Structure 1
């Protein structure tokens, strides 16, 4: 459509001499001359698809016009300028440069054949050079536009991939949180519920404590779940919105006490220069201890467990040990242990699992990097 419009505009321009009156001393403009003029314009329809051949066709048609008829001249060589512009804008480099040089070379005999004046020569060289320059400018601008559009598409693809990866990480994070909350609560409730009927017959006061523990554990799980669901509803409401329920180490004594109420004797010890931790690390340590104790309650058939937080100068070691039957030879299985390893790796640390001291029970050791300190303080509880 664009090329057709160009042809119509050029045809209108070259038709002007046939519209305006000619000098009475000259022969009238003939239909043959007008037909040959139109013949020089028609090749411009294919100027984008075959610019070099269009330029050669235009030059040949103009030469035929000059030799065959005595028609009116043109103020500007419109068809030649458009053809040269098209070559500069659309032809490959070797062909483009060769056609540009040949076109400028043709200007000299053409001017000599017409008026031979230096003024016409300079003018012709200027307009053809300008046409070639505008063609090169158009090609450069289009190449730049294509590069910008390609870059924008690549950035959009990259943004989409990053968004999908972020969504996958968020789903994994939520899955870990849900697993930790529900697994811990349900495990304790099952243990207490199984012990309840026995306690009712033998020690009613223990049965009442067991049912109280079930109720407390259930309420705590519901609070944490409601908090998490509230965060999910608030997601995207602004940079200040909380991203997750954040349990912290100050809740560790209550966690240990709840596990004790299930019948497992749990000790909690802290050594080294205890200090505040980053919020995410603080929450991760709580969840690691929670999951390790949940595994002990569910799988170990243990009677005792020990939680140790050992603060070093540049790291924190979290150890949870029990005296149960262990977890078999495949200690890398289970969503709980996988979640522990994922949490440790997310904070730049590592996790080891295996038999406890002297090959008895099971042990989870997690090391997390911390900022180094110079003071030391030992706290035991």
Structure 2
């Protein structure tokens, strides 16, 4: 019932204030009739107008709580100075004004105005009857009755502030969930785009090189041409399989990691990757230092994709048609370097219309598992990609900040070659 009344009062504030003012006027009229042997209120009608004015002032308690308290306190002080007993009924307008002051303002303002009101009312009441039997009623009683609305108003203010904070936290949580959902969608789109680029771009580059080599040797070396064309069929088939696997993820309703369409590529497929590059005319040398350690699936895939993208760039741009891949297992890290001794156009990477995302994708992959990557031109000529990957993935915040050994002196990220 109380909650219903509160909701009605919030929706119809003006009607609630009018009803409150009328009720207070009735209360004060009854309060003016209460007296003791020491209290001697005047036998006149004009104090009734003070009661009416005091009750009517409550209509402005929501918009002007300080002014309302000043009017009601002045009216109560005049009545107590005339000898009226400061009963709860007579003090009802002041108590209502104190409640709204405590509910709508801060604690410091409430304490200042509340203490001043109590002091004025007690002083005027004692001036009318200083040493009567109702001394305690005029002093302690007045203070206690005025403290009651102050405490209730303060509780209402704290409750309203708590509800507002809860609502603000709920809005913030909802906004955070929406932002997190958008971030996850963006990350998933980036992951799929990276997979498509790494898989398809490599196979298409190798296929393009194989087709060019076959066309060049078709007349003079038919047997070698047939072998290259056979490799070209395998390259395009691998491209189609990886394209189907990546696009198939978009059609799955369950978690794509729970039921992959084909095994995730890793360093165990490095020989097939090297063979495909060699059939395209790129001579690849692979060396391993240290004892090979098992890698987590995410790190294994990242290592494979970095080598794949680096060899793709070497296939397209290395003027010496040779590349070296070095894997070094050191401590809890795998150090990967892919180098070539020369590039086209006198050692500068050829411009790519519109730019590209190869090096950016490698850098993002390395950071996603807590590793690091550097790529750039070598001082002695050629190009080098150097990556440091942990055996087990970790957050980028915990990733080592030291650059990989033998890293090129170029920038961390350059335009895709």
Given the alignment of the two structures, is residue 342 of structure 1 paired with residue 364 of structure 2, yes or no?
Answer: yes
1:126 aligns with 2:144: yes
Higher helix share: 1
Cα distance in 2, alignment partners of residues 239 and 139 from structure 1: 51
In the TM superposition, 1:369-380 aligns within 5 A as 369-370=390-391
Q: 2:200 aligns with which of 169, 178, 182?
A: 182
Partner of 1:375: none
CA distance in structure 2 between the partners assigned to 1:104 and 1:239 by the alignment: 72
Q: Return the TM-score normalized by structure 2.
A: 0.72
- 2:95 is aligned with 1:81: yes
2:252 and 2:65 mapped to 1: Cα distance?
A: 60
- Provide closer, same or farther for how the CA distance between residues 283 and 163 of structure 1 changes in structure 2, counting only shifts above 3 A: same
Tell whether 2:230 aligns with 1:217: no
In structure 1, the partner of 2:17 is: 6
After TM superposition, the score normalised by the length of structure 1 is 0.78
Where do 5+ consecutive residues of structure 1 fail to align? 24-28, 372-381
User: Quick one: distance in 1 between partners of 2:122 and 2:175?
Assistant: 54
Structure 2: tracts of 5 or more residues without a match:
1-11, 35-42, 393-417
- The root-mean-square deviation of aligned C-alpha atoms, in Å, is 3.9
Cα offsets for 1:120-171 (capped at 9, x unmatched) = 3344332211111112222233333344444444555555555555544444
Other structure's SS at 2:147 match = helix
Q: Contact 1:296 / 1:302 at 8 angstroms: preserved in 2?
A: no
C-alpha separation in 2, matches of 1:69 and 1:125 = 18
Q: CA deviation at 1:177?
A: 1.8
- What is the Cα deviation at residue 301 of structure 1? 3.9
**Mapping 1:129-144, distance limit 5 Å:** 129-144=147-162
Q: 1:321 to 1:99 in 2, by over 3 A?
A: closer
Q: Within 1, Cα distance between the matches of 2:26 and 2:260?
A: 73
The corresponding residue for 2:337 is 319
When residues 311 and 326 of structure 1 are mapped into structure 2, their CA distance, relative to the original with a 3 A threshold, is: farther
SS of the residue 2:196 aligns to: helix
Cross-structure match for 1:362: 383
Deviation at 1:367, TM superposition (A): 2.5
Cα 1:241/1:97, change in 2 over 3 Å: same
Question: Quick one: structure 1 residues 306 and 247, their matched pair in 2 at CA, closer, same or farther if it must change by over 3 Å?
Answer: same
Cα pair distance change 1:166/1:63, threshold 3 Å: same
Change (3 A) 1:238 1:310: closer
Report what 1:270 is aligned to. Answer: 288
Map 1:1-381 onto structure 2 (within 5 A): 1-2=12-13, 4-12=15-23, 14-15=25-26, 36-62=50-76, 75=89, 77-109=91-123, 111-112=125-126, 113=128, 117-118=134-135, 120-121=137-138, 122-234=140-252, 237=254, 241=258, 246-325=264-343, 328-329=347-348, 335-346=357-368, 347-355=370-378, 359=380, 361-370=382-391
Structure 1 position 364, deviation (Å): 2.5
Relative to structure 1, the CA distance from residue 255 to residue 30 in structure 2 (aligned partners, 3 Å threshold; closer, same or farther) is farther
Instruction: After superposing the two structures, state which structure 1 stretch, 337-346 or 327-336, moved more.
Output: 327-336
